[in-house]
Amino acid sequence: MPELPEMETYRQQLTRLIQGAPITGTEVTRPKSLNVEPDSFIRKLTGNRIIRIDRRAKHLLFHLVSGEVLLLHLMLGGWMFYGTEDEKPDRTTQVVIHFGTKHLYFIGLRLGYLHMHSLPEVDLLLGKLGPEPLDSSFTFPQFQQVLKSKKSNLKLSFVDQSFLSGIGNCYSDEICFYAGILPLRKLSSLTEEEQNRLFQAMRSVLLEAIQFGGYIDEPLFIGDRLTGQFDAKCRVYDREGEPCLRCGHPLIKTEVSSRKCFYCANCQA
DNA sequence: AGTTATACCCGGACGC
DNA sequence: TGCGTCCGGGTATAAC
């Protein structure tokens, strides 16, 4: 669910909201979300500070003064809220980190987690991830190399985190639509011109989604006007039967290896 | 090696 | 309104 643009939006906003702020308390209501005992987790966080927030693929890395890293993956349906107890949405929370009167609430962590690691451990854990699609050092020739690394179709390749990292079910469809290429196309069938269109589409879609705060429909804090604006700008995802924004033909929904997949049969080839 | 099936997890939406 | 049922979906791992 939350993919690269959603996590990047969280990273940017949280950096502004909590970077450097003293952690005054920690609550754990779902120990399964953690990789250490709740007591130990609370002890490690309380009194500590987050000095920097990085994003790698769909993960956020909260770097603590102590040198340890809190590694967050929201998986499906996970989201966050920052604010006072009064402002908190009426949802079950799994972990809460206190910053004085305002708290960071972790909500919807089912398969999602908050794991405490040393820096080398994090490097090891994230080592198998493919390149960051928006990294300035990730150029078109490198994209072409990556395309050679798999024999499958576009849909499955885009959601494979060892192929490219950070793209999930929604943005894979959005990128294919923007490029005018069917998600079921085999990588080996792509012409160089199509490869180039995909590369440009990938950058455009992800950058636009970040600019508009991703598609998460819950605001991060009261008065947050950024988060979720991209939800209205998704062109194909979850729009089965709706007219294609480019040609008007009804959008098709299909299933690819038990994943939802949306496309326009008329203007994607 | 490359691809595919399966377990994991439980809040909340939905039906009656 | 209340209670029971079932879906969603990224990732690790096992199984082809």
The DSSP code sequence of A177-230 is HHHT--TT-BGGG--HHHHHHHHHHHHHHHHHHHHTT-S--S-SSTT--STTGG
A115 CA to C15 C1' distance (Å)? 29
Closest residue to B1 measured CA to C1′: A150
CA angle centred on A19, ends A13 and A21, rounded to 5°: 125
A54 CA to C7 C1' distance (Å)? 33
Q: What is the mean pLDDT of chain A?
A: 94
Confidence at A255, pLDDT banded by 50, 70, 90: confident
Model pTM score: 0.96
Whether the CB-CB separation of A26 and A97 falls below 8 Å is answered with yes
Q: List chain C nucleotides near protein: any atom < 7 Å from a Cβ.
A: 8-12
Residue A183 pLDDT more than 90? Answer: yes
For chain A, percent of residues with pLDDT exceeding 70:
100
The string over A35-48, giving b where at least 16 C-beta atoms fall within 10 Å of a residue's C-beta and e elsewhere, is: eeebeebbebbeeb
Q: List chain B nucleotides near protein: any atom < 7 Å from a Cβ.
A: 2-6, 8-12
Q: Over the stretch A148-177, which tens digit does the pLDDT of each residue have? A: 888 899 999 999 999 999 999 999 999 999
CB < 7 Å to strand B — which of 145-164 in chain A?
Answer: 150-152, 156
**Residues A3-30: what's their mean pLDDT?**
96
- pLDDT of the residue at A136: 94
Q: Over the stretch A44-97, which tens digit does the pLDDT of each residue have? A: 999 999 999 999 999 999 999 999 999 999 998 899 999 999 999 999 999 999
Q: Over the stretch A190-247, which tens digit does the pLDDT of each residue have? A: 999 999 999 999 999 999 999 999 999 899 999 999 999 999 999 999 999 999 999 9
A142 CA to B12 C1' distance (Å)? 43
Closest residue to C10 measured CA to C1′: A75
Residues A87 and A89: their CA atoms lie apart, in Å, by 6
